[in-house]
Amino acid sequence: MPVRSRIVFLDWLRGLAAIVMLQGHIFDSFLRPELREQPAYIFSQFFGGQAAAIFLFLTGITFGLGMNRRDDLPAWQRITGALRRARYLFLLGIAFRLQMWIFALPNQPWTDLLRVDVLNLMGATAALLSVAALAHGMQRVRWAVSAGIALAGLAPVMAGLDTSGIPGAVRDYFVPSAEAFSMFPWGSYLAFGLAAGSAVPFVRRGEWSRVMQWAALCGFGLLLAGQYFSNLPFSIYSKTDFWLNSPALVACKLGITLLLGSGAFLWTEYFSAGWSWVRLLGTTSLAVYWVHVELVYGRWFSFYKARLGVWECVTASAMLVLAMVGMSAAIRRVRRKSTQGVSREKRAAA
């Protein structure tokens, strides 16, 4: 399978995650409190929570592909290259928190700058996993899978530790909570994505259909296993919260991610041709995330927060998706003009 097709289906999956994220945040911010026990809200938040797992998994794939490209370099250059990528993600997280804080002044406390958001988590977890750059081939895949299992499996243990003496800004990176994205267990999705990205060189041309079939089977297996173990009347952990720190939830979300990835491959490879607005969202997912969070949670539409009904939230979600597609199209147009301008300058210099 050509490289271009692989990028297409990953971009399409990223765009699908963006759509799921947009509707989830709309319902979370604007739905009236008395309606939050209804199935519409419950399903919205269940699927909305899947978006972060997909983004982290895809970030891990990109991280692994970057390590693959540096495999011929000396060990210290492989490590520093991975750390530079982690630093980029972490600085994005800091810039995002700073922008949100400035736009919310004077009502936002300075401590909000230290909040651990998904971009901070990506940077911190990528820095932790940079040691995997020392390995090659299947050894790196095994290291990454082991790291993913450890980050998921130790989440209930971390939640049960007495961490009251650790500053909150540090604790949130490691201890599961409902207010922040911690490495335990959220970082496990990035680790599993790193394993997937590191395994790409072992897939020969023409074998991608079979690989995605196995991914779908693994997805079903993980989903069923997560459901089975979460319903057992006993547990190896003294205390666990399925929706916060359970390894079973990680298995379910990872299984759904693999299933959606297989579906994205099937759609883009055999049914979709030409322009795709879903893929367009995926190619500008960072800008979509950045802008929509300000629109949904900022002061721009504060009058409507916690005041809309279910169908009004559905309408608002559709409007937000359309707005983000328009923004993504504008970004792509600017990128094309910039690329064409650079190409003309190179031809003139030649």
Burial category of 105 from C-beta neighbours within 10 Å (exposed 0-12, middle 13-18, buried 19 and up): exposed
pLDDT, one tens digit per residue, over 199-251 is 998 888 788 899 999 999 999 999 999 999 999 988 899 888 999 999 999 99
| Number of DSSP helices (H) and strands (E) in the chain, helices first | 13, 0
Per the CB < 8 A criterion, the answer to whether 26 and 317 are in contact is: yes
Residues of the chain scoring pLDDT < 50: 1-6
Nearest CA to 324 among 12, 17, 19, 14? 19
- DSSP, collapsed to helix, strand or coil, labels residue 308 as strand
Which residue in the block uniquely carries the two structure tokens 């922040």?
A: 180
Q: What is the pTM of this model?
A: 0.92
pLDDT at position 3 is 41
Supply the pLDDT for residue 5: 42
pLDDT given at position 349? 60
- What is residue 56's predicted lDDT score, i.e. its pLDDT? 97
- List b or e across 49-59, with b for residues whose CB sees 16 or more CB atoms inside 10 angstroms: ebbbbbbbbbb
Note the pLDDT of residue 46: 87
Chain centroid, CA 171 distance in Å: 21
Q: Which residues contact 241 (CB under 8 A, 6 or more apart)?
A: 156, 159, 176
Burial of 239 (0-12, 13-18, 19+ CB in 10 A): exposed
Cis peptide bond N-terminal to 185, omega within 30: yes
Task: Say what the pLDDT of residue 344 is.
Answer: 64
